[in-house]
Structure 1
Amino acid sequence: MLRLHAGEFGRWQLRHFVLTCLAWALEAMHTMVMIFADRGGEAAGARTPRRGPAAAAGGRRWAEWGLVCGERYKVGLVQAGFFAGCMIGAGVFGHLSDSFLGRKGSLTIVCVLNTVFGLLTSLSPSYWAYAALRLLTGFSTGGVGLCAFVLATEPVGPAKRGAVGMSTFYFFSAGIALLSGVAYLFPPWRHLYVVSSLPSLLFLVSVLPFLSESPRWYLVRRRPHDAMAVMREIARTNGRRLPDNVSLKLDDDDEEHDKKEDQNSYSGAALSGSILDVVRSPTTRVRLVLTVAINLLCSVVYYGINLNVVNLKTNLYLSVLLNSVAGIFGMAATYNLLFIYTMELFPTVVRNAALGCATQAAQMGAILAPLVVVLGRRCRLRCSGRAGSSGGCWRSTSRRR
């Protein structure tokens, strides 16, 4: 219907896409705030403390909480806990966004939780309270990107969906760049957590009311009248009009064709789409192993490079800003390409199962990255470089297969 009547990517989709993807900037701020907030821990564990009032305040904070040189691993433990929360939250809110909450409802919940947990983090009285609140923040943050990605791309036509999906990560990089400016203006770590949490509240009250629920979710929940209302709004804003006798169906013709091919390939046995069906086929089994390895290594590289800027003898704010700009053309683009590439590697009936494994692998890489940064000492960048090279080689292998 989008292709024939409402328009695949018109003014309605553009406005909806931009407003929805602002949530990716919020996710970036909640994720990368650890670069600035936790740098005092690096100073406390280093031979020569980093200069500056913010680093000194952070050092006093870690010293007050009992962090000494032999316990510098606790800095990485907090950061790894955040990404562990992201891994759990992505699974939970991924399920909820498909169920009764919907995409918009789930995005609303995670924005509320991000605001609450972020503000509570600024009041942390001890190290373990701080670690627990960062874990909870990761749990809610893990659902932001997933819900925003689905909500932003589902109303887009099939021909434009790939390019639109690739553009979502630009907002994540923009959020990191914005965070560097915020951290420069509000260097104390408690102030930084407050200021970086307030945009989620602003998004909640000023952006979410203007977003529409996905018409695809309405169809899945057997609410065709609501889906048609959204489609009429899309057509009207795009300067088109839906015919009176038109009806909606869940899948377009191309997806139906893919489904028939998948059914023939799996002889009707893989319609459940479980991970066992992926492993059962030699071709998809090899692809799954390579995809999991590539996602894990690329995640280690991306987050390792971003978190390692605290160890460089350069201006921290400028380094983070330059990293965010370079990320648009480097690892950020690789992340999005991997997401889309993985979807195309597997048949429709097992695509979600394979994509779920790849996403979990990427989260595992994110969990390992802070520990590599904190414990790696002189070989930090070398570890990231080797991980990136290995991922590139394995990606070439998967392409040949």
Structure 2
Amino acid sequence: MADYSNPLLSSSSFSDTAAEEEQGQEPPPSPAKKLPSLGSTVEICIGHLTWSQFLQAILVSFAWIFDAQQTFITVFTDAQPPWHCTNDAACSASANICDLPAGSWAWNGPPRATTVSEWGLECANSLVAGLPSSAFFVGCLVGGFVLASLADSSLGRKNMLFFSCLLMGLTSLLATLSPNVWIYSVLKFLSGFGRATIGTTALVLTSELVGKRWRGQISVIGFFCFTFGFLSLPVMAYLNRNASWRNLYLWTSISTIFYCVLMKLFVTESPRWLLVQGRTEEAVATLKCITSITQSNLNLAISNMSHKEETWNVDLFSALRILLQKKWSSKRLMSIMTMGIGIGLVYYGMPLGLQNLSFNLYLSVTFNALSELPSALIVFLFINKFNRRTSLLFFTTLSSVFSLMATIQVDPWTNLQIVFELVSFFSACSAFSISIIYTTELFPTCVRNSALAMARLSMMVGGTLSPLLVSAGRQNKFLCYGVFGLGIAFSGVFGIFLPETKGRPLSDTMDEEENKEKMNCETLA
């Protein structure tokens, strides 16, 4: 339900002109005026929020469920299972398992429960034991860089989302056949490579299917889906606790592949991207399917707009080049990426670090997943009231404070570590969601997916570093939660270098956004 206080080309004017044409009359000459831009035209063409748009957004957002499952699945598949002593004379429950003689201890469950117990990694070098998780995040880094521009250039939003989900699903399915940790790590790398652009492309596609009034709320649907995906893991892991870790990959990969089929059949391409690419007929057909605007009004609106497709966006890295060539866009990109490193460090690191707390792993992961629900709900309800910069600074600061408090080792504060961790993670989730929405508003359609991919790429940098800090934090919690807190506090400061975008319509071309930037500078001056 878009809110247009002063439309450049109203839907009523479409109807009047169309009626005159149908009666064989020439429309009265209009005074010379600036033709409406692509952005304002699409806003009017999209019209009120329809059930078709809403259902499209829901279906696209489901991709976040499978994204979350593959991101955090190693919390259970690669964990060290609990063990017990079989020879009390030679074994102590508080001893290091690697210092005990063979045969004096045994796993509580079957040896195939996790990769650690199946492949005997309990005493392996920390780099080897953590290799699958690190390979996944490295794959996300490489995939985010290599695939960053494809959704803006050749593939488009829908095809990029389809191929990313399919690659992630197929490699996760193949992971069930892994004979050793090395093959498993290669498959995790490929899974991360495919997963890199799923959240980015899904968010961009949903935001471009609706008008500006509903953009924030519709975007948050993906965050709810991510939470449900995260929350499904401890449930599946608990049900699978006496079986092989391979079952978790089997269940999640088959559902991902099935989703790919549904998406290919029922999801439409972004009309904004189609218009930017000059594919007008396809854009009109898409708009006709998802809006209540008539065919004649659609054709008239689009034929009267002033827009020419972006001819420079022709190869893989052209979008990234143009982002760095413009001073205003490069400044925004560097600021949002610096923020992403700190936010990603906490967002991906906190769940991995739960093994360092003396608390039940299934419950702690469940509590972390549940803490994403109020975070997504707050963003959903108040995103149109939040100033982006202020809210980011608030949540990053709050996360920092409670992450640092989680390092306190003095009673009674030690017993509250899980509470501090949950508040810090909740705040990081809120900052994550707002920063993603903020990024989609900072950059125009022609480079939006590329910019968002780079922002998420920076979060993957934080995610790649987090397993190393979690490993170091087993002996000294400050090296885990303390560094998390300092990292996200430092990153939040960079929000002051970005313009406020609350309530501002999306731009579609670099020139359009640059003109807005100049107008803002003139206003401030």
Shift of 1:73: 2.5
- Report if aligned partners of 2:338, 2:494 keep a CA contact under 8 Å in 1: no
Contact 1:275 1:350 in 2 (8 A): no
Establish whether residue 133 from structure 1 lines up as the match of residue 182 from structure 2: no
* Per-residue Cα deviation, 1:267-308 (whole angstroms, up to 9, x for no partner): xxxx97342544xx7x974x6555333211111111111112
Measure, in 2, the Cα distance between the counterparts of 1:310 and 1:151: 36
Change (3 A) 1:215 1:4: closer
Matched ranges for 1:267-282 at <5 A: 273-278=322-327
Match status 1:216 vs 2:265: no
Hey, what does 1:35 align to over in structure 2?
75
8 Å contact kept, 1:169–1:332 = no
Whole-angstrom distance in 2 between the partners of 1:277 and 1:390: 28
Decide whether aligned partners of structure 1 residues 382 and 164 sit closer, same or farther in structure 2, where only a CA change above 3 A counts. Answer: farther
Is 1:88 aligned to 2:142, yes or no?
yes
Q: Distance in 1 between matches of 2:46 and 2:481?
A: 46
Q: Is the 8 A contact 1:37 1:58 kept in 2?
A: yes
Identity of aligned residues (%): 32
Superposed, 1:167-316 pairs within 5 Å as 167-187=221-241, 188-236=244-292, 240-244=293-297, 246-247=299-300, 249=302, 273-278=322-327, 285=331, 290-316=335-361
Q: 1:349 to 1:92 in 2, by over 3 A?
A: closer
Q: How does 1:1-12 map to 2 (within 5 A)?
A: 1-12=41-52
1:369 aligns with 2:466: yes
Give, in whole Å, the separation in 2 of the partners of 1:211 and 1:196: 21
Counterpart-to-counterpart distance in 1, 2:83 and 2:181: 16
Equivalent residues in 2 for 1:95-106, closer than 5 Å: 95-106=149-160
For 1:228 and 1:351, locate their aligned partners in 2 and report how far apart those are by CA, in whole Å.
21
Contact 2:440 2:448 in 1 (8 A): yes
Tell me the secondary structure at the aligned position of residue 69 of structure 1: coil
Matches of 2:209 and 2:288, distance apart in 1: 12
**Contact 1:180–1:317 (8 Å) recurs in 2:** yes
| TM norm structure 1 | 0.81
In the alignment, residue 273 of structure 1 is paired with which amino acid? Answer: I
Separation in 2 of the partners of 1:68 and 1:345?
46
- The alpha-carbon deviation at position 132 of structure 1 amounts to 0.4
Structure with bigger RCO (C-alpha 8 Å, 6+ apart):
1
Given residue 181 of structure 2, which amino acid in structure 1 is its aligned partner? Y
Aligned length: 377
Deviations 1:302-358 (A, max 9, x none): 111111223333332222121012134122221121123345567999977765553
Task: Evaluate the alpha carbon distance shift between residue 202 and residue 357 of structure 1 in structure 2; reply closer, same or farther with a 3 A threshold.
Answer: closer
- What displacement does 1:9 show? 2.6
List gaps (5 residues or longer) in structure 1: 257-270
8 Å CA contact retained: 1:42, 1:72: no
| 1:48-75 CA-partner distances (Å, limit 9, x unpaired) | 5996426x5346x436645352513223
Whether 2:112 is the aligned partner of 1:57: answer yes
Residue 21 (structure 1) aligned with residue 66 (structure 2): no
- Residues 202-258 of structure 1: CA deviation (Å, up to 9, x unaligned): 21233441111221232233321111111112224xxx53544744559999xx9xx
Which structure has the highest helix share of the two? Answer: 1
Tell me the distance in 2 between the aligned counterparts of 1:250 and 1:37. 55
Shift of 1:154: 1.1
Corresponding position of 2:410 = none
Q: Name the amino acid aligned to 1:47.
A: N
Does the 8 Å contact 2:65/2:230 carry over to 1?
A: yes
Instruction: Tell which deviates more after alignment, 116-125 or 325-334.
Output: 325-334
Q: Give 1:36 shift.
A: 0.6
**Which residue of the other structure, out of 353, 368, 371, is the alignment partner of 1:326?**
371
Write out per-residue CA displacement over residues 105-139 of structure 1, whole angstroms, 9 at most, x where no aligned residue: 22222222222211110110111101101001111
1:317 paired to 2:362: yes
AA matched with 2:359: T
Counterparts of 1:251 and 1:64 in 2: how far apart (Å)?
65
CA distance in 2, matches of 1:213, 1:301: 34
Larger Rg: 2
Return the alpha-carbon distance in structure 1 between the equivalents of residues 187 and 494 of structure 2: 41
Partner of 1:263: none
Between 110-119 and 354-363, report the one with greater CA deviation.
Answer: 354-363
1:149 to 1:348, Cα distance in 2 relative to 1, 3 A: closer
Which deviates more, 222-231 or 332-341?
332-341
Give the alignment's Cα RMSD to 1 decimal: 3.6
Structural mapping, 1:377-392, within 5 Å = 377-380=474-477, 383-392=480-489
Matched residues in 1 for 2:59 and 2:288: separation? 20
CA contact (8 A) 2:77 2:113 kept: yes
1:341 corresponds to 2:438: yes
* Cα distance in 2, alignment partners of residues 234 and 200 from structure 1: 25
Q: Which moved more, 1:377-386 or 1:176-185?
A: 377-386
**TM-aligned CA distance change 1:122 to 1:42, over 3 Å:** farther
Q: TM-score, normalised by structure 2?
A: 0.63
Between stretches 202-211 and 187-196, larger displacement belongs to: 202-211
What's 1:47 paired with? Answer: 96
